[in-house]
Structure 1
Amino acid sequence: MSLLALNAGMMSATSAVAGEKHAPVVAPIVQIASGSAMVVDLKSHEVIYSRNPDQVRPIASLTKLMTAMVTLDAKLPLDEVISVDIHNTKEMRGVFSRVKVNSEINRRQMIQLALMSSENRAAASLAAHYPGGYEAFIRAMNAKAKQLGMTHTRYVEPTGLSPLNVSTARDLTRLLLASQKYPLIGELSTTQEKTAVFSSPAYALPFRNTNHLIMNPSWSIQLT
């Protein structure tokens, strides 16, 4: 059995798709501290467990999954070098990042850093370089949510830093199921570690996946 497990907390959210050999992971989820959660069988879409699945909560960095999907929907060249541009994302003010503003890296790596390492400046930059600009990107995020039937979801920015980015466990399950149609998201989000090489100025930074289960060979994580 392949499972999709989602925990949605007030300040943070994590998600993972676990492989067949780990179906027994369902049992301890009943004792989770998270205020809302949902576990779904990926094949039948049967809801195996839920807790407050329709409670609207801030979704934090789960926002970046929609950011990646909207970017890929635009069919922009992934090898195009783009700058780190955060000036439209007011939530970034005062937020630390090792990534230098105005430095450059290609779009594929921006997506990768946003997904695997939850790099906020990467997510903000993807929105800044969207056709029509930042506001068009936010509109596209909400349009995508509506298309997927995420009726209790709202996005105001691309990083998840704003508590006004809200959703429910049920809506986020729809998003995670839809992400299966984007194999690149699974590939990039499950990268264990990466050294990103930037230009203008030239520098390199090591990144590690924020999901420590990725490092555990006994787990088969397909999305994080």
Structure 2
Amino acid sequence: MPSSHIALKMKLKTLLITLFFLIFQLVFLAPLHAQTKSQSTALQKQTQSPDSLLPFLNPKRLFLRSERALIINVADGEILLDRKKDVQQPIASITKLMTAMVVIDANLQASEVIHIKRADRDRLRGSGSRLSYGTQMTRADLLKITLAGSDNRAAAALGRTYPGGHKAIVAAMNKKAKALGLNHTVFKDVSGLRSGNVSTASDLALLVDAAKSYAQIQTMTTIKHDHVTDLRKGWKVEFRNTNRLMQNKKWDISLSKTGYIADSGHCLVMQVTMDDRTLTIVLLNSWGKLSKYGDANRIRKWLHRADQQAKKAAKASKEQAAKVSIFVDALN
């Protein structure tokens, strides 16, 4: 075959391959690029992992009643949703996660019996408690009902019996916050009743990660229904987890804490597993008592839909790559 014919054939093959890849980009990559542009500027600046959901997420299509929200993929730190994540606000009983950490850090005797006293009552907001004055309970049980049941009187008793009392434990909480890099977090009491207990969604995501490293906290915050024992007469004091999603089989929750005072609105922090991803979810200042749960369920559906789209796109890309390979082989 003349050399001119061989050269012409090579040029034609190169042209066909180039044309094929141009069509592939227009048909398959252009829509993906358009979806990516719908993300906020802050999210676009992130370095995306190969299995990132970001190209398939449209924050504008997610309606939430929580004023502040943050979703982070724990595996790579990728932010999937950011709504005012760095705005400081009161955090109510989310505070109790830090209370529990410093109590555990102090290596105090878990079996020590602690008496509930009038000094433990909530003088600030008059909140109730399952623990009457005179109740005798182990420190371990007080920790359990503080975390799962969010009992303020139990938290106060833990603070009162900490070495040095309330002043010392609050100082320890703020010291630990600084060590963890929670630069916009301040604690004023152990229960979260004071509006001076403030943080941001970003800091709370770090707090959740730190709390997750404590097996006791992980276990106690995910109790669905349990009891603690008043040792005076062996009475059982029953309680349910304050996070209603713990009763929902659709959720796989490995750490959880709720919070509410008027100044904070309804708050919820969780670490969950969803579609083989471990996620930290922070919802702050939700306007209704049940709205944070509605928001969480909307987020779950939003993320699941994106996961299905990502898997569909990955499958299509794999199939197209196989077709390209066959086409190139045929030209050769």
Q: TM-score, normalised by structure 1?
A: 0.82
Secondary structure of the structure 1 residue equivalent to 2:194: coil
Is 1:209 matched with 2:241?
Answer: yes
Tell whether the 8 Å contact from 1:86 to 1:121 is kept in structure 2 after alignment.
no
For 2:109 and 2:187, the matched residues in 1 are separated by 25
The aligned counterpart of 1:47 is 79
Tell whether the 8 Å contact from 2:115 to 2:134 is kept in structure 1 after alignment.
yes
The aligned counterpart of 1:142 is 174
Q: Which amino acid aligns with 2:187?
A: Y
Q: Which residue, 100, 103, 107 being the options, matches 2:132?
A: 100
Q: What are the Cα deviations for residues 157-189 of structure 1, in whole angstroms up to 9, with x where unaligned?
A: 011111111110011111011112101101011
The aligned counterpart of 2:115 is 83
Q: How far off its partner does 1:116 sit?
A: 0.6
Q: What are the Cα deviations for residues 130-181 of structure 1, in whole angstroms up to 9, with x where unaligned?
A: 1111110010011011111111111110111111111100111110111121
Secondary structure of the structure 1 residue equivalent to 2:181: coil
The aligned counterpart of 1:35 is 67
For 2:64 and 2:221, the matched residues in 1 are separated by 24
Q: Which amino acid aligns with 2:87?
A: Q
Q: Single out whichever of 133-142 and 26-35 deviates more from structure 2.
A: 26-35
Give the number of the structure whose residues are more often helix, by fraction.
2
Tell whether the 8 Å contact from 2:59 to 2:81 is kept in structure 1 after alignment.
no
Tell whether the 8 Å contact from 2:186 to 2:196 is kept in structure 1 after alignment.
yes
Structure 1 segments of 4 or more deviating over 6 A?
26-29
Q: TM-score, normalised by structure 2?
A: 0.56
For 2:65 and 2:76, the matched residues in 1 are separated by 27
User: Size of the alignment, in residue pairs?
Assistant: 201
For 1:102 and 1:47, the matched residues in 2 are separated by 47
For 1:134 and 1:78, the matched residues in 2 are separated by 18
Equivalences for residues 125-164 of structure 1 within 5 A: 125-164=157-196
Tell whether the 8 Å contact from 1:141 to 1:155 is kept in structure 2 after alignment.
yes
Structure 2 unpaired stretches of 5+ = 1-55, 257-332
For CA contacts below 8 A with separation 6 or more, give which structure has more relative contact order.
1
Structure 1 unpaired stretches of 5+ = 1-23
For 2:148 and 2:63, the matched residues in 1 are separated by 27
For 1:146 and 1:205, the matched residues in 2 are separated by 36
For 1:187 and 1:42, the matched residues in 2 are separated by 19
Is 1:178 matched with 2:210?
Answer: yes
Bigger radius of gyration = 2
